Amino acid sequence: MKAYTIVELHNLFKNKELSISEYYQSLFVELEKQNKRLNALVTITKEEALKKISNLSFDPSNMLSAIPVVYKDNYSTEGIRTTASSKILDNYLPIYSATAVNKLEDNNTVIVAKASLDELAMGGTNRSAYTGPVHNPWDTTRISGGSSGGSAAIVASGVVPFALGSDTGDSIRKPAGFCGVVGFKPTWGRISRYGVIPYATSLDHLGAFTRTIEDMSIVIGALSGRDDHDMTSSMKEVPDYYQNLNKDIKGVKIAILKNVYDEVTNQDIIDNMNVVIEKFKELGAIVEFVSMEQQLMKAILPAYVIIANSEAMSNHSCLDGIKFGVREPGDSPDEIMIESRTKGFSSFIKRRFVLGNLALATENQEKMFRKAQKVRRLIVDNLNQIYKEYDIILTPVSGDIAPTLEDASDDRLSEQYLILENHLILGNFAGTPSLTLPSGFSKHMPIGINIMGRLFEEQTVLNVAYALESVLPYRNQYREGSED
């Protein structure tokens, strides 16, 4: 099946060169096929989608009209099973939809599936999903990355032009890099999080996967804006990102984060970064190396682990098997809760909750949770010093290609990851817009670079990515699979 971008599909529908109903018939055949290969989806919503398109009035003035969408399965979708890839939510049917879902529904998009994630979005490999690991479309022995792995993989397979994800540490940007697609989380507060099952409230961002920057600017534009249901959503006006796309980045100041660059040992990734730097210079940008305090860079992961686990522990206290979710039998309300949570969560999640509970205990709160929040401020202040002089901070997405399923570790607490595999958390600590763009290959697997801008300067991030995309050969790349 040919992989279309949003813009291509829109023009085909508009010019009546492609029948919407025929397109959806073939899309579901392909979706089933890709899911068999990748295990990327939890639920395929064929019945709902076909019903919707049978009543759909195509709007030629709306780029998203009749475009298929896949949601990460932590987005609440009214009447459609929403599991967050956790056993405890296996039977959960939300009674309302997330604001992001409603916004796309208002644009006449068509939901075709819910995508797999690491359980409760807590992980970076997508191996902890209740439905099993998601495979990378470029090499199915490798991971997709996580936690938005299903969304990344299904977009990278070419079957849909976009999918939504969420990002607490790097959960959109890392899988986007591993799967060779565009992944973007705008500024914290730019997109309402109402109705998305949370992980860590002060770090959670929503965002999307696409295969082009044009498509990303359309999707992010549709999702952004104030929502009174999410009191952390910003009241700032939303620019027309798509209309304002501009490849002219002459004079834009780009900082390469030396602390990260110096840690890379994979020669392909070093060479790729150098190619990207030269491309930016040719495009007229000013590119310079900058450093953050090394001690603070090493503190990113420790502070993140403490804050994220603590907030997760608190957020998920509502999962008790009583009001919703899978209930285990018990002789008392407490026993029901304990049994439901014991059997409903994996060991991995339980470990994280225990550590979160430890950091939140009255006797530990000041030295663990509050201390981590203070260190977070130091890190963010240090980062913001760079933004006083530079518009963009540029880093590789990862130090290597997607690992194999056997080699991948869900445990990001270990020392070896300290800076190189955790620097994208800077964007969650500071809330800054951060975008992954495919930039090359290593050992036949895609690699990417990350472009991070100032708060609410999504347009600058998109323009810089748009300019780079135009001088690299990876626009709209995808991998259907060799059997195709």
Question: Could you say whether residue 238 binds another protein (CB under 8 A)?
Answer: no
- 276 or 372, CB closer to another protein? 372
- Residue (281 or 343) nearer to another protein, CB: 343
**Catalytically annotated residue among 72, 87, 114, 174:** 72
323 scored as a contact of another protein (CB under 8 A)? yes
- Give residue for tokens 């902890």: 128
Q: Which stretch binds another protein (CB under 8 A): 169-177, 264-272, 283-291, 341-349?
A: 341-349
According to DSSP, the residues that pair with 205 across neighbouring strands are: 167
For another protein, the binding residue among 137, 189, 396, 448 (CB under 8 A) is 189
Quick one: 334 or 407, whose CB is closer to another protein? 334
Name which of 100 and 179 has its Cβ closer to another protein. 100
Question: Does 141 interact with another protein (rule: CB under 8 A)?
Answer: no
Structure tokens at 258: 């030396």
Cα separation, 134 vs 41, in Å, equals: 8
C-alpha closest to that of 392 among 442, 426, 439, 429: 426
Order of strands across the sheet that contains 163-167: 41-44, 110-115, 68-72, 163-167, 205-210, 182-185, 434-442, 445-453, 392-396, 253-257, 286-290
- Whether 150 and 134 have beta carbons less than 8 Å apart is answered as yes
Residue with smaller CB distance to another protein, 377 or 443 = 377
Of 25-33, 85-93, 138-146, 467-475, the window that binds another protein (rule: CB under 8 A) is 85-93
Stretch that binds another protein, among 116-124, 137-145, 170-178, 353-361 (CB under 8 A): 353-361
CB environment 282-293: b (16+ within 10 A), e (fewer) = ebebebeeebbe
User: Residue 123 in contact with residue 146, Cβ under 8 Å?
Assistant: yes
Compare residues 162 and 387 and give the one whose CB is closer to another protein: 387
CB neighbour class for 362 (10 Å; exposed up to 12, middle 13-18, buried from 19): exposed
What's the one-letter identity of residue 98? A
Contact present, 169 and 204 (Cβ < 8 Å): no
- Which of 8, 328 has the CB closer to another protein? 328
Among 92, 139, 268, 315, binds another protein (CB under 8 A): 92
**224 has catalytic annotation:** no
Does residue 386 bind another protein (CB under 8 A)?
no
Closest alpha carbon to 308 in 234, 199, 220: 199
Q: Could you tell me which stretch among 20-28, 126-134, 331-339, 460-468 binds another protein (CB under 8 A)?
A: 331-339
Given the rule CB under 8 A, which of 252-260, 272-280, 305-313, 401-409 is the region that contacts another protein? 305-313
Size of the site for another protein (CB under 8 A): 78
Q: With CB under 8 A as the contact rule, which of the stretches 340-348, 385-393, 442-450, 464-472 interacts with another protein?
A: 340-348
CA separation for the pair 266, 464 (Å, rounded): 25
What is the nearest approach in angstroms of another protein to the Cβ of residue 196? 17
Instruction: Give the amino acid at 262.
Output: D
Indicate which single residue of 2, 36, 374, 443 sits in contact with another protein (rule: CB under 8 A): 374
Q: Does 81 engage in binding with another protein (CB under 8 A)? A: no
Q: Does 47 bind another protein (CB under 8 A)?
A: no
Select 359 or 464, whichever has its Cβ closest to another protein.
359
Question: What is the rounded distance in angstroms from the CA atom of residue 393 to the CA atom of residue 381?
Answer: 15
Catalytic site includes residue 147 = yes
Q: Record the tokens describing residue 260, joined without a space.
A: 């990260």
Q: Does 310 bind another protein (CB under 8 A)?
A: no
Q: Single out the catalytic residue among 85, 144, 151, 171.
A: 171
Residue 456 gets which letter from DSSP? Answer: T
Q: How far apart, in whole angstroms, are the C-alpha atoms of residue 87 and residue 79? A: 18
**Footprint of another protein on 200-219 (CB under 8 A):** 202-203
Strand ranges in 258-411 using DSSP code E only, listed in sequence order: 286-290, 392-396
Among 122, 170, 132, smallest CA distance to 316 is for 122
Q: Which of residues 422-461 bind another protein (CB under 8 A)?
A: 428-432, 455
- Out of 357, 382, 409, 442, the only residue in the binding site for another protein (CB under 8 A) is 357
> Catalytic residues, which ones?
72, 147, 171
